[in-house]
Structure 1
Amino acid sequence: MTTERMEHPPVQGRLSSDDLIELLGAPLYEEVVAHVQNSGYPEPHARRQVLECLRYLYLVSRYRDQLAGLFLPVEQHVDEVWHYLILQTREYRALCEERLPGRVLIEHRSIAYGDYQQEQPGRERTVEEALRWIPLYCREFGPFDDGALPHWTIVRFLHERMDLSLPEISALSPLSTG
C-alpha cells in the first residue's frame, strides 16, 4: 500500500481489514492479537477487537476537526488495545505520525461513559455526537455488521435497546446543527 493511497482513500471510501493491518504492520498486528488472546478472548474476537481499535484511531486521525472533543464510545476492551499500542511507543508514534491520515500523535484520555454522560448536557447532545461519527465510520469502512456490536457502545445500544437494524444504523445521517 502506498502512502498516497492512504491519504486519498478510494472513491467508495472503504478501507479493508487488510488496509488497516498494513497501516499497523502485520507483525505488530499479530503481536497485539496474541496479547488480546492472552487476556482471555478467542482469536476471532481478538482480531476484530484490534481492527475496531484501528478503525477508531483512523477516524480520530482523519476527522480531527469533526470529531475533536467528542466521546467516541468504544468498549473498554478496545480502549485496552489502544493502551497496549501506546506502550509500543516507537511503533505507535510511527502509526500516528507517518501512516494515519492526520499525521499527528493521537493522545489518550480515558473517561468512563457514565462520567461522560454526567459532564454533557444530555441525551440530545449524545445523539448528535453519535450521529457525527457513525456516518464517517460507514463511509470509511462500510456498514456495521454483527462483528462490530461488541466493540461500539452506541451501535449496540441503538441495535439492542432502540431496535434499529444494522442497515438502519449504517444509514443514519448527521443531524444538522444550527
Structure 2
Amino acid sequence: MNDAASRCPSPGLVSIKTLRSLVCPRLYQETVLHVAQQSETDSADAEHRIIECLRYLYLVSAHPASLRGQFLPVEQEIDDVWHYLILQTREYKTLCEERLPGRFFIHHRSLPYGEHRQEATREQRIEAALRWLPLYRDTFGAMDEHALPYWTMAKFLRGQMGLSLQQIADLDR
C-alpha cells in the first residue's frame, strides 16, 4: 500500500504499517493471495480489503461498549476477509486476544438485515451506522478513496447524498 497515510500518518493515528503488523507476515501474505484469488482482483485491492477488515476489528476491539453487537457497517468484501481470518483459528485468537487493543475474542454472528431492521427503529439504525465514522476518523484519519467502497454508510453518504470525503470526516464537528 503506497499511499500518503501509510507513509506519514498524523501523530496518534493508527497507521497501515501498525495494522499490517497485527497479523504475522505469513498470514498477511496468505490472506492477500486468498482474497485476490477469490475476488479475482489484484494484490493491491486485496490489501485494501484486508486493511479495512483490520480497521473494522480494531474499532470493535477499541470501542466494545459502543460498537459490539452493532450491525456490520462494512460491505460483503470485508466480511469475506473476516471469515477467512476467523478460519485461521490460532492466529485469529492471537489477533483478538493479544494484538488488538481490547484484548478480547471478537465473535462473528450472522444477523440477516431483516432481523436487524425489526430490532431497531429507523433512527436507531441510522445513528448506529453513523457512529462508526467519527471513530474511524479519530483512529485512522479521514477515510480515503480506497476505504470508501467498503464502509456502507460512507459509501451511501458519498454516492447518494453527494458528500465529499472531507464532509464525511467532519460530520460530528
In the superposition, the TM-score normalised over structure 1's length comes to: 0.86
Aligned residue number for residue 158 of structure 1: 157
In structure 2, distance between residues paired with 1:30 and 1:140: 24
In structure 1, distance between residues paired with 2:17 and 2:53: 14
- Cα pair 1:12 1:139 within 8 Å, conserved: no
Aligned residue number for residue 125 of structure 1: 124
User: What letter corresponds to residue 81 of structure 1 in structure 2?
Assistant: V
RMSD of the alignment, in Å?
A: 1.8
User: What letter corresponds to residue 83 of structure 1 in structure 2?
Assistant: H
Aligned residue number for residue 69 of structure 1: 69
Aligned residue number for residue 7 of structure 1: none
Q: Which runs of 5+ in 2 are unaligned?
A: 1-8
Equivalence map 1:1-178=2 (5 Å): 12-39=11-38, 40-122=40-122, 124-173=123-172
User: What letter corresponds to residue 23 of structure 1 in structure 2?
Assistant: L
Change (3 A) 1:115 1:159: farther
1:66-116 deviations in whole A, cap 9, x for unaligned? 212222311111101111111100000000000101100000012344543
In structure 2, distance between residues paired with 1:103 and 1:11: 24
Change (3 A) 1:41 1:118: farther
User: What letter corresponds to residue 144 of structure 2 in structure 1?
Assistant: D
1:20-47 deviations in whole A, cap 9, x for unaligned? 0001122211110100011112221100
Cα deviation, residue 16, structure 1: 1.0
Further displaced range: 151-160 or 64-73: 64-73
- Cα pair 1:131 1:173 within 8 Å, conserved: no
In structure 2, distance between residues paired with 1:114 and 1:153: 16
User: What letter corresponds to residue 125 of structure 1 in structure 2?
Assistant: Q
4+ runs deviating over 4 angstroms: none
User: What letter corresponds to residue 81 of structure 2 in structure 1?
Assistant: V
In the superposition, the TM-score normalised over structure 2's length comes to: 0.88
In structure 2, distance between residues paired with 1:154 and 1:35: 27
